[in-house]
């Protein structure tokens, strides 16, 4: 892989972060770039899938084709193959020829039936809480040469950095969404307490206790009851906002 190609791949990966709506979209684009890079490197059509390992669970997330995703998912279910071993060892793992290699017999049969003659697992470094593997599939033997594997490793370094950043952004977005939801819930509860205070001429603590008991009695979430009270106060007859203490 030339320096120019590396620069182009790096720019494309980072552009994906801002142009993708979610992690799945980013990974779809990333595996497409990975497949195109290895196709250039080997001179033949290479497909790619990506597996993410988080919270002690692995999942096939995306691929450059539906077939690549299926082959990756089968490997996860069998618990055997170059991708699985690369994930465990943190090093590239090559299945050079499905007809002669004696490892992973069930998975080799699956690959051969799908017209895949060799496969390559390249680990992604994503930090202490996650790991990943790029799983490459080739239609012939001898395509994953030392140079091709080296190119895949260079790409994996760039892809790992981009994916790590994308995961951090996604986590931050989720945190922001959770905080927003929590703030909205807190606002509804405070408004409901204000209504109860006005109607019962009580303190805020007493109003909150009335709301809490009402939530327990009705087997209804506190926020849901608060929103019901606020909605009833703004749009329904006043009596609809009362409930028995």
Same domain, 106 and 9: yes
**pLDDT tens over the chain, length 245 residues:** 554 455 565 566 666 666 666 777 888 888 998 999 999 999 999 999 998 876 666 666 789 999 999 999 999 889 899 999 998 899 999 999 999 999 999 999 999 999 999 999 999 888 777 788 999 999 999 999 999 999 999 888 888 877 777 666 655 555 445 445 555 556 677 778 878 887 888 887 888 888 888 888 888 887 788 888 877 765 443 333 333 43
Same domain, 137 and 204: no
Number of domains in the chain: 2
Same domain, 163 and 140: yes
Same domain, 180 and 101: no
We report the CATH number of the domain holding residue 22 as: 3.30.450.80
Same domain, 101 and 214: no
Boundary (domain end) residue, out of 156, 172, 188: 172
Cβ burial of 146 (10 Å; 0-12, 13-18, 19+) is exposed
Same domain, 46 and 150: yes
Same domain, 107 and 189: no
Which domain, by its residues, includes 127?
3-172
Q: What's the pTM?
A: 0.64
């Amino acid at each position: 892989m030339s320096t120019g190609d590396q620069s182009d791949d790096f720019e494309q990966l980072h552009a994906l972060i801002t142009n993708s709506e979610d992690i799945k979209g980013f990974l779809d684009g990333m595996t497409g770039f990975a497949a195109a890079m290895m196709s250039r490197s080997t001179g033949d059509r290479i497909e790619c899938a990506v597996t993410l390992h988080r919270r002690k669970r692995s999942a096939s997330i995306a691929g450059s084709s539906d077939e690549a995703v299926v082959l990756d998912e089968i490997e996860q279910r069998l618990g055997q193959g170059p991708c699985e071993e690369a994930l465990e060892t943190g090093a590239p793992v090559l299945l050079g020829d499905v007809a002669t290699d004696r490892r992973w017999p069930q998975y080799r049969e699956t690959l051969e039936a799908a017209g895949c003659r060799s496969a390559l697992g390249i680990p992604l470094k994503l930090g202490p809480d996650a790991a990943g593997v790029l799983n490459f599939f080739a239609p012939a033997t001898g395509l994953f040469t030392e140079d091709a594997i080296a190119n895949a490793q260079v790409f994996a370094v760039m892809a790992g950095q981009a994916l790590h950043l994308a995961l951090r952004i996604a986590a931050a977005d989720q945190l922001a969404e959770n905080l927003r939801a929590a703030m909205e819930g807190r606002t509804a509860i405070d408004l409901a307490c204000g209504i109860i205070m006005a109607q019962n001429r009580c303190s805020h603590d007493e109003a909150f206790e009335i709301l809490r008991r009402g939530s327990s009695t009705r087997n209804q979430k506190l926020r849901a009851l608060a929103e019901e009270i606020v909605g009833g106060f703004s749009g329904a007859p006043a009596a609809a906002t009362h409930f028995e203490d």
